[in-house]
Amino acid sequence: MPRPRTFDEATVVANARQAFADTGFAGTSLDALLEATGLARQSLYNAFGGKKELFMRAFLSDTAEAVEAVEAVRHGSDHPITRMRAQLVKVAVASGAAQAPPSLLTRAVVELAAHDQQVASTVTAAFSAMREHYAACIADAQTAGEIDTAADADSLGAYFCAVIEGMGMLGASGATRATLLDIGLTSLAAVPVTDLGREHLGTDDGAWS
């Protein structure tokens, strides 16, 4: 009869996620992973299958959280255009000067996506979902009369996905909050915002044209 587990699986995955985000897949030895999770070697193999399998569990958790954060922007209660600005500001403040915890998504893209098909397909699916949520928010802003309806919502969704993820990577490399905020607000200024959109953004919050 198998012995009952004496650990919380979600906690183990969260601790593994942090370890992999800090030092990468190759840089996280099995011994370091055991220390981070508190598992015995055999317990790790029995519960997860091995280092790569635990990495993928942690990676899927990280990408799901990243997608959920963007989905929250899509379904917020504020005006769609102000939700987009809030996301840009949030990323700038959280990521500036390497303030944010390391991102396993970013780490995996740089280290593994080019030669690991499982990681690459997970990254592609995550970015596709984020792009779709941003595009939906743009479409909502068009319906609300805040963005010119002639603009391509899908293209703008991809644009914001690239800008925001790029801001996170720059922040991780040491770019300041002020630099990231300038990037974010400049990207918003490139969007064809209508007079109503500018009104919703507020005249005291920056130049939007």
Question: What does the pLDDT look like over 96-130, one tens digit per residue?
Answer: 888 888 889 989 999 999 999 999 999 999 999 99
Beta partners for residue 193, in sequence order: 147
Q: How buried is 152 (Cβ within 10 angstroms: 0-12 exposed, 13-18 middle, 19+ buried)?
A: exposed
Element (H, E) at 10: helix 9-27
Cα–Cα distances (Å) from 88 to 85, 94, 111, 186, in that order, read 5, 10, 26, 10
User: In the predicted model, is pLDDT for residue 2 greater than 90?
Assistant: no
Burial 12-24 (b: 16+ CB within 10 A, else e): bbbbbbbbbbebb
Contact 96, 180 (CB under 8 A): yes
Cβ-based neighbour number of residue 198 at 10 Å = 16
Q: Which two tokens stand for residue 114?
A: 């080019």
Residue 4 pLDDT greater than 80, yes or no: no
> pLDDT tens-digit profile of 60-99?
999 999 999 999 999 988 999 999 999 999 999 999 888 8
CA distances from 133 to 2, 46, 154 (A): 44, 37, 10
Q: pLDDT tens-digit profile of 144-183?
A: 999 999 999 999 999 999 999 999 989 988 999 999 999 9
